[in-house]
A and B are shown apart, each in its own frame.
Chain A
């Protein structure tokens, strides 16, 4: 069932039920009350009537009768009965004589007072004793109020309730139809967006309700991410095929060239050397790709242990010293925390070495061995490492793509590299629940900020 009809039905049913229950309760309780009230009036008349009928002839009775005729309203079809009951009397006779229901008399003879409703006729009676004689004093009347007012009330209520239900039904259908309008609009628009026009975004109207504009924003953010992922995928494939293709072309070319005609052994050996070099390069690329893929997964095989981040930095630095003896890496310890606990993180040594060696190597490489500063600091929740170089920088427009595998900035053509290091490093840092921020200015330098959460106290023991 559509949410729209569901909402309309629920809304309609709920409001109608409330109105019907309200109307019914009004009618029921008024009906009840009118009976109780009417019986009370009858009983009062029975008592007064008994007073003056049983004491007839006295002055008191005369006054009382006068008073009653003057001041008590004459009820609809009101009748008074004073019936003397003989011990062996037959109620059937009496009933016939006075046109009273026989079972009323029977019941009255058992109880001291009794009241009953016979069709529209209300009857109330009491037993009285005067001397040795037993009397029944009975008053009967019709309840005009119950007959007419209640009927009128009933028709008013029925008319009112049906009007209200009609309005509620119309309104709830209208409401449920239009409350989903903006959502339907969004659905229609999202349907239009496909892989060809993924740059399209939903219009965000400020006049709309907050929920709807939030939904629109969420959709737009989702589209942004999808678009970026698309771009990355496209870039990755083209870059990967290019990177893998270049050495392969060289290998094929060299082989072709040397097979063209018989050559000297010297020529063969240079050709083979070239081929070997390119094959090694290919091997390196595939290896690092494999590593990238492995770290990209949420690996269960990686073991985490307690490591000190400053140690990692020193080891990475010595690694770079071996590879590139001309480097000028300065480790700044001026903000190093006094408490060594504040340097311990949960991590995998090999991976962290790889990550920091990568970053330091990049810093040295792209700055032609200008000084590189590494700052280590620690807040109460995380270790902060900042690597600052004075290199060529990364153009602003390309800063968003640096984590794409095989992406290389436009100003890096003079430097060797495959564009796998930074994505790999970021994967490693993310594995450690850390985060990596790169900010850069062309020809001024690049700053890499790495934050890795500290080990919790419970692990430190």
Chain B
């Protein structure tokens, strides 16, 4: 069976813990993973003119995050069909619902005890996801975040 799951991330390694927990229970399915990063679009017309999601994603991508993604992909190699990073620029529930529908999302995983980092553009899409009436599974990351900096690879091990 094919399944598409969605996980909000903030490009810190710690946020990938949700993905790890989400993938563990599946045994026989092939999973398509969509990592969602929500941010407001810039108003500048030139920025909009030269808008490319790839460039934005690679500007956030750190070596540690890339490595953590590779670790997870290697761990669940047989299950994962692909891992895509998607950007969401909407403001309301309808936009979110459209986005989820377009990407054929089946399940959404959200970490109960992890607060996504909100920078000047990025925002936490959790409230929108919750209002979208999609199947949301909440997981708890067993990790003492006090001990490990979120950005570092260490925070993936727990």
Query: Does the CB pair A380–B157 fall under 8 Å?
Result: no
B81-105 residues at the A interface, CB under 8 angstroms: none
Tell me the bound Cα distance from A312 to B32 in angstroms. 34
A36 close to B (CB within 8 Å) = no
Q: Quick check: B154 and A447 within 8 Å, CB to CB?
A: yes
Check: A337 CB closer than 8 A to any chain B CB. Answer: yes
The minimal Cβ–Cβ distance linking B79 to chain A, given in whole angstroms, is 9
Nearest CB in chain B to that of A447: its residue:
B154
Residue from the list B24, B76, B157 in contact with A375, Cβ < 8 A: B157
Is A342 in the interface zone, CB < 8 Å from B? yes
Q: At the interface, yes or no: A359 with Cβ under 8 Å from chain B? A: no
Q: Are A336 and B75 in contact (CB under 8 A)?
A: yes
**Contact yes or no, B77 A386, CB < 8 A:** no
Give every chain A residue within 8 A of B137 (Cβ-Cβ).
none
CA distance A329 to B56 in the complex (A): 43
Q: Is the CB of B70 within 8 A of A379?
A: yes
Contacts of B70 in A (CB 8 A): 379-381
CA distance A95 to B152 in the complex (A): 107
Q: Taking the nearest CB of chain B, how far is it from the CB of A378, in angstroms?
A: 5
CA distance A216 to B68 in the complex (A): 37
* B139 proximal to A (CB < 8 A): no
Total cross-chain contacts (CB, 8 A)? 55
Determine the interface band of chain A, counting residues with CB < 8 A from chain B: 20 to 34
Contacts of A373 in B (CB 8 A): 157
Known: A335-B20, A441-B147. A388 touches B157 (CB 8 A): yes
- Known contacts A377-B71, A379-B67, A380-B74; A335/B147 CB under 8 A: no
Complex Cα gap A449–B71 (Å): 15
Please give, as numbers and ranges, the residues of chain B lying within 8 Å of A444 by CB-CB distance: 147
Residues of B with C-beta under 8 A to A8: none
> B156 an interface residue at 8 Å Cβ cutoff?
yes
Q: How far is the CA of A439 from the CA of B67 in the complex (A)?
A: 19
Residues 115-158 of B at the A interface (beta carbon under 8 Å): 147-148, 153-154, 156-157
Bound Cα distance from A439 to B151, whole angstroms: 14
- What 0/1 readout, one digit per residue, does chain A (367-398) give for beta carbons within 8 Å of chain B? 00000010101111100101010000000000
**Contact of A379 with B74 in the complex, beta carbons under 8 Å:** yes
Q: Mark A419-461, 1 if CB is under 8 A from B, else 0.
A: 0000000000000000000010100110101000000000000
Smallest CB gap from B63: residue in A: A379
> B8 CB to closest chain A CB, in angstroms?
21
B74 touches A337 (CB 8 A): yes
Q: Is the CB of A339 within 8 A of B77?
A: yes
CA gap between A55 and B74 in the complex, in Å: 111
Q: Contact size class for B?
A: 10 to 19
Chain B residue nearest in CB terms to A338: B77
B-chain residues with CB within 8 Å of residue A133 when the two chains form the complex:
none
Chain B min CB distance to A444 (Å): 7
User: Complex Cα distance A445/B148, Å?
Assistant: 11
Q: Does B78 interact with chain A (Cβ within 8 Å)? A: yes
Is the C-beta of A322 less than 8 angstroms from some C-beta in chain B? no
- Which residue on chain B has the smallest CB distance to residue A336? B75
Given contacts A332-B157, A388-B157, contact A377 B75 (CB under 8 A): yes
Determine if A338 and B74 form an interchain contact, defined as CB atoms under 8 angstroms apart: yes
Choose from B66, B154, B157 the contact partner of A439 (Cβ within 8 Å): B154
Give Cα distance in the complex from A153 to B78, angstroms: 88
* Contact B76–A338 (Cβ < 8 Å): yes
Give every chain A residue within 8 A of B147 (Cβ-Cβ): 441, 444-445
Known: A386-B154, A449-B153, A449-B154. A334 touches B74 (CB 8 A): no
Assuming the A-B contacts A335-B157, A449-B154, are A379 and B77 also in contact, with contact meaning beta carbons closer than 8 angstroms in the complex? no
Contact with B along A303-334 (1 / 0, CB 8 A): 00000000000000000000000000000101
Q: Which residues of B contact A337 (CB under 8 A)?
A: 71, 74-75, 77
Smallest Cβ-Cβ distance to A439: which chain B residue: B154
Residue of A nearest to B78 (CB): A338
Bound: A84/B67 CA distance, A? 106
Q: Is the CB of B74 within 8 A of A342?
A: yes
Measured CA separation A447–B121 after assembly (Å): 34
Q: A379-B67, A444-B147, A447-B154 are in contact. List 10 more A-B contacts (CB 8 A).
A: A335-B72, A335-B157, A336-B75, A338-B76, A342-B74, A377-B71, A377-B74, A379-B66, A380-B74, A445-B147
Where the two chains meet, the residues of B that have a C-beta atom closer than 8 Å to any C-beta of A are 20, 24, 66-68, 70-72, 74-78, 147-148, 153-154, 156-157
3 nearest A-B pairs in the assembled complex, by CB-CB distance: A337-B74, A379-B70, A375-B157
Please name 9 pairs of A and B residues whose Cβ atoms are closer than 8 Å in the assembled complex, sorted by A.
A332-B157, A334-B75, A335-B75, A338-B75, A339-B77, A378-B71, A378-B74, A379-B74, A384-B67
